[in-house]
Amino acid sequence: MTGRAANDAHAGSMREGRLLFVPTRVGPTGLHVVRVLRSAGGGRTAIAFTDPGLLLEVMGPGHTWTTLSRAALLSLVEPLGVVDLALDPQLVAGPNRPDGTPVAIPVP
């Protein structure tokens, strides 16, 4: 299984009340907002982690996060047209600093 089907299967195996660790960023008003990323296909995808250590490993040390249930996260992003949720995504781009700017990764 890949993509959305794998994520749906993972999500289906979770108890609905289990809290997820959801990356946030500071928005223009100074409030923390849920991170939404682009998938390889260009669609917007919410992301969440089942462990804070995984979140920090992928998003970078010092990254801000909050805890939400799957239902709460999806209800927050649905008005933005986001219907996909990636659980425990792997690193596919360089990490960001807490202020959202990319960290330069040296090329060997």
Predicted confidence band at 104 (pLDDT cuts at 50, 70, 90)? low
Q: pLDDT tens-digit profile of 12-47?
A: 444 556 899 999 999 899 999 999 988 777 788 999
In percent, the amount of the chain with pLDDT more than 90 equals 46
Calculate the average pLDDT of the chain.
80
Q: What is the pTM of this model?
A: 0.68
CA pair distance 26, 11, nearest whole angstrom: 27
Q: Nearest Cα to 68, choosing from 11, 17, 7, 19?
A: 19
